[in-house]
Structure 1
């Protein structure tokens, strides 16, 4: 990788913003950044669909950014709009996509989404190539979307149009991260995830009563219980542990096919220590991992919360340097 892609100042928190929980929650609650996405539907070969949000340049030869959001997020998330705004202002077109069941409309099939389901991301990349003639594509993912992004960037079938990617707050080790979120200090996040997932499980139970039951849902307290009962059987895994082991992106770090930036904050309350260790064995030369002292989970906030965040400028710098080497 060219030395220029490393030439970017490290993230530093503003005064009073060093707490990981505060950095996580502050932008989630208060950031108001919007771009005029255009909504469309991408029909899939298995009979399901994805909801896409597009921000296209008039210049048809512009490079494209593809954005993957996090668990129980959507393209409406502040970080999706924030990075879309930054890239669009720099001349990039943007394709954001919603995981199955996200974006305001439930999907058709019993399955929904999971951390390793990057086949849908690959389908979105193919759509951007086919529908828009994209020749240069950069991937960006956050949290669960970051895990999908890393897996896609390690796939030998990766489209040659993809020049690289950037992933933030990535649960590289799903087993340890699930344990981390089961701790009492993280209970506020766990309760929110389970509360947001409940209506989806109830919908699936009404539509597919032979496959899904919502009875006793409120007794679920952590991802081990949720994934054992729902995620694993609905997506072809024997257990939560098999799902986590099969879909963690840490083993993919030695297989990366394109330059990949991963940024995980040391004080991220969602991630275990194993997700914040850059001393990986057999790491690919395409891996560039940054571990700032602070940043929280998909936070990296500054007090001027509606201005471009460090994450957005870091990804844009990385992408533009890669693009300059491909054009």
Structure 2
């Protein structure tokens, strides 16, 4: 009797595992885009964009994927070379260049999510995979975050797209013959989309990827009000930054610093700090001004938008709200999955995840395919000339000269 019970249990487990593997461990990616030559080429040459597979059993839950991606997954330590840039208002911020091999064929500019910088694990992981593919990486750092210290009593929790323009212009000026691509994460993706829409045909970036963007600022505010756990987590990140710069806020005439110290949600911080120092009348006005929704139809370069419908932060309602604008723009491909969480899309075994995530693979596949088509459209003569300029870039780029495996010149070791 015991043997039969054990056998029945084993058969049941086997059936459940097979069922999970067949019906839940993979799903087809839903694509929304115009029927253009470029989009057809991308879909044909991005194998990872067709299916999100090898999902661990716990990956069926968007909250677990989100927590793993943001708090558990670790990345390698890199050497970076730091540059300090200034916007038109005299506010400084940092960009970090990743040491790379001489076979670098393009530059990928990375824009982290809220309060992010080059020391974040998801950024270190993505930079690692870019490097393996032969790309140079430059990472924009949120002002006041990481080791950076604000020089002015001005800070935005939703990011400033003007900083991205300064960074892209700077990178292009240094290396005008090298194609520039961009990948943005979460609020960094929102900033990137806003920049691309504002610049239109003048955007320096050749193609871009947006990961887990929320698009609509006003609707995002309403959802943040309902999702108190994530609002508290995001508020905690900013309170660390605010505490580090308390000398800027304590005597500020428009700010009640004692109330900010007691703030327990992102909405409260924005109401007490962001709207005051940035001169917005209401918090609704502040969020509306920083959304990317109204800029989507003005994007003129190939852009891939990745969203998971179980994302607890960039909710599926925000994706639905953006579909009308996306449908008007033939330059945009929207790829959605039922599972994935916020900046998650974990892949691996039945339980154990791999270091590389689906979003990493898709982003690099898209950039590779876009670069291939753009090179082809220039013609073989132009393509040869471009390759020559890339080799020249590799020889002259100070970030590319190796010395015992480390980048020559001034370097910085990011701390975990």
TM-score for the superposition, normalised by structure 1: 0.91
Deviation, structure 1 residue 157? 5.7
Distance in 2, matches of 1:138 and 1:90, equals 14
- Matched with 1:298 is 343
Off by >6 Å, runs of 4+ in structure 1: none
- Matched with 2:373 is 325
Deviation, structure 1 residue 134? 5.1
Is the deviation greater in 141-150 or in 55-64? 55-64
Deviation, structure 1 residue 264? 1.3
Q: Is 1:194 the counterpart of 2:235 in the alignment? A: yes
Task: Report the CA distance shift for 1:134/1:14 in structure 2 as closer, same or farther (over 3 A).
Answer: farther
Q: Is 1:79 the counterpart of 2:127 in the alignment? A: no
Q: Is the 8 A contact 2:73 2:355 kept in 1?
A: no
Distance in 2, matches of 1:56 and 1:39, equals 8
Specify the SS of the correspondent of 1:140: strand
Unaligned stretches of 5+ residues in structure 2: 1-37, 376-416
Distance in 2, matches of 1:60 and 1:131, equals 18
Is the deviation greater in 132-141 or in 64-73? 132-141
- Matched with 1:125 is 168
Aligned length, in residue pairs = 325
Deviations 1:223-247 (A, max 9, x none): 3332222112222322211111122
Matches within 5 A, 1:1-327: 1-7=38-44, 8-12=49-53, 13-45=55-87, 46-59=89-102, 62-115=105-158, 117-133=160-176, 135-156=178-199, 159-183=202-226, 186-208=227-249, 209-211=251-253, 212-277=255-320, 279-281=323-325, 283-303=328-348, 305-327=353-375
CA RMSD of aligned residues (A): 2.2
Deviation, structure 1 residue 166? 0.5
Is the deviation greater in 194-203 or in 258-267? 194-203
Distance in 2, matches of 1:222 and 1:207, equals 21
Specify the SS of the correspondent of 1:279: helix
Is the deviation greater in 200-209 or in 250-259? 200-209
Distance in 2, matches of 1:172 and 1:194, equals 20
Structure showing greater Rg: 2
Distance in 1, matches of 2:86 and 2:289, equals 24
Distance in 2, matches of 1:279 and 1:187, equals 26
